Amino acid sequence: MKAEPESRIVKGKDVKFSIDDLYAMKDSTSPWDGVRNFEARNIMRDQMKVGDKVLFYHSNCKLPGVAGTATVVREGYPDYTAFDAEHPYYDAKSTDPDSPKWFMVDVKFESKFDHVLSLTRMKAMDQLKDMILIKRGRLSVQPVRQAEYEHIVNATRQ
């Protein structure tokens, strides 16, 4: 799951969200809202389950890469931010809360890596050559194979 760790103002609000911000949340838990891509939405709505491990990826920053891990603690439910005209992720085309277009999950902080495992370093790892992040980097929520997850976590310990 990708988040932007550097300040970016949308509708007068900073949408910055880093692994440190997740840790600082009440119970180190946060909704993963504002996803406005149908493929990423479908992954959150249909595939992510309580207990699933998450790689927390810092995107749109000087050093993009995996910064830590989290766990899904609530499965897909309607993203209420789509209906709030004051919210940065408001979607004017989402008009019926009884028929939501956008969904989110809740994630809980698990760990912060001592160093970000950079995208450049990940691209150089043969074990990750088929990873969706490497092949289709723009998708903000992506499935990760267990072997890829383990390789990334282990690589941060070296």
pLDDT given for residue 23 in this prediction: 98
In 3D space, the residue among 85, 145, 149 whose CA is nearest the CA of residue 117 turns out to be 149
pLDDT given for residue 158 in this prediction: 75
pLDDT given for residue 9 in this prediction: 94
On the question of pLDDT at 3 being above 80, the answer is: yes
Q: Mean pLDDT score of the chain, rounded to an integer? A: 96
On the question of pLDDT at 76 being above 90, the answer is: yes
H helix runs in the chain, sequence order: 19-24, 38-42, 119-123, 132-135, 146-155
State the residue range of the domain holding 121: 2-155
Total domain count, the chain: 1
Indicate which CATH number applies to the domain containing 62: 3.10.590.10
**14-21: average pLDDT:** 97
pLDDT given for residue 136 in this prediction: 83
Yes or no: say if 119 and 137 are a contact pair by the CB < 8 Å rule.
yes
